[in-house]
Amino acid sequence: DTCRNFKCKRGKVCHTEKQGKPQCICQDPAACPPTKDYEHVCGTDNKTYDGTCQLFGTKCQLEGTKMGRQLHLDYMGSCKFIPPCTDYEVEQFPLRMRDWLKNILIQYYERDLNTSGILTEKQRNKVKKIYQNDKRLVAGDHPVELLLHDFEKNYYMYVYPVHWQFHQLDQHPVDRLLTHSELAPLRASLVPMEHCITRFFQECDGDQDKLIALKEWCHCFGIKE
């Protein structure tokens, strides 16, 4: 099977020509495997797709057109009304996001106490200092005033989580810059819960070059140089 180890980008599948050569062709959206409701995704065209296979297959078929260039994964789940983000809300967003990132790392650390594998040894040592600190604000639905107070009082606990998330996203390639596609996994999963995330990332891009550098990322989260 010439297609066995032949990789195609998202939206394309391998097909063997008559001569036996493998080539990538657009995935037929109608031939995508059936999905459950929770696997549905919303495209930037505000249309619900049965899954990422159908979305990226459709994008591939529109390759070379304006519609194809503009079609991306917007967020996980069926399309719904996403309220606009106010100036006040976008100002509060980093408070919740920093706290969320810290708590995600704490969860990973606790899971690794029994079965290692999620965090590296170096990462565990970093998170251990936060985990064992008796001044740590435990997870909860805290008012923004408390989150702001804790950030000012225990600033050092939030520096590593912000850096960690950047480097988790900076993968294709690892260049200390985040592209739209590198941000997509985080953004797409959070939009239904945090409707300010799109505007937040747009405003993080201070020089408007469609890339978020590490310096811009840290500035957005209030991390000092």
| pLDDT tens digits, one per residue of 12-34 | 999 988 888 899 999 999 999 99
Residues 45 and 116 in one domain: no
How many domains is the chain built from? 2
Whether residue 75 contacts residue 197, with contact meaning beta carbons closer than 8 Å, is answered with no
- Domain span holding position 43: 12-76
CATH assignment at residue 192: 1.10.238.10
Whether residue 207 contacts residue 218, with contact meaning beta carbons closer than 8 Å, is answered with no
Angle ∠(83,183,47) on CA atoms, nearest 5: 50
Residues 214 and 126 in one domain: yes
Provide the pLDDT for residue 17. Answer: 85
| Domain edge (last residue) among 53, 76, 99 | 76
pTM strictly above 0.85: no
| pLDDT tens digits, one per residue of 46-103 | 999 999 999 999 999 999 999 999 999 999 999 999 899 999 999 999 999 999 999 9
Percent of the chain past pLDDT 70, that is, above it, reads 100
Confidence of residue 114 (pLDDT cuts 50, 70, 90): confident
Q: 156-169 and 87-112 are packed helices; what angle lies between their axes, rounded to 10 degrees?
A: 90
CATH assignment at residue 29: 3.30.60.30
Mean pLDDT computed over 134-163: 95
| Alpha-carbon distances of 225 from 152, 187, 216, rounded to whole Å | 16, 25, 10
Name the H helices within the chain. Answer: 52-61, 66-70, 87-112, 121-131, 144-153, 156-169, 180-190, 197-204, 214-220
Task: Compute the Cα dihedral for 119, 200, 189, 151 and give only its sign.
Answer: positive
Q: How many whole angstroms separate alpha carbon 61 and alpha carbon 207?
A: 33
Q: Which residue has the higher pLDDT, 199 or 192?
A: 199
Record the tokens describing residue 40, joined without a space. 């549905």
